[in-house]
Amino acid sequence: MAIPQNALTDTANVFHFEFWLRYYFIEERDGKLFIALTDEQQKQMQAQFADYWELVERVKDQPLSPELSQQSVVEFLQLNLEGKKFPSNTVIKVLDSKEFSTEMYLFDTWVSLHEEQLMQKIYGFDYWMHAYGEWKESERAKQLAQSLQVQMKGERGTMN
């Protein structure tokens, strides 16, 4: 069964946003990492990314861990997308799909390839999504996506 493209995009963007937060706004305190935002950054984020603000509130000022990130994103998806924006079980289907795996791999690849540029200053999340979208349209990214899909198809045998 094909998953709706808008469900894939919306789900992946929540993961991308949480990654973007961790990428730029980490601070070390007492040997632990935290999302730390100035008052001005909080106001800007709340205004620009109102749809994601609840996610920011879930992770800021909490000791970061892979478990906290995963739990916060999944809870956000369940509360905001599952059964509200999309039919029940859509997000679960997205998370289990090869399309989602491909999307996340492509995003990680894009970040790795552009890390030097991304570290020059704090770029807005909108910029990230625009630049990433342009990169995904490149021949290199399309070939990588196609290669990943073929590889995943081979790993899953005749399923899908």
Q: Is residue 76 part of a domain?
A: yes
Indicate the Cα dihedral angle 45, 42, 22, 88, nearest 10°.
-50
CA atoms of 67 and 65, how far apart (whole Å)? 5
pLDDT tens-digit series, residues 83-132: 899 999 999 999 999 999 999 999 999 999 999 999 999 999 999 999 99
43 lies in some domain? yes
Q: Is residue 160 part of a domain?
A: no
| pTM metric for this prediction | 0.90
Counting the structural domains of the chain, the total is: 1
Instruction: For residue 109, tell me if it sits in a domain.
Output: yes
Cα–Cα distances in angstroms (integers) from residue 29 to residues 19, 113, 135, in the given order: 20, 29, 35
Q: What is the pLDDT of residues 30-87, one digit of tens each?
A: 999 999 999 999 999 999 999 999 999 999 888 999 999 999 999 999 999 988 999 9
Residue-number span of the structural domain to which 32 is assigned: 5-155
Q: Is residue 53 part of a domain?
A: yes
Judge whether 58 lies within some domain: yes
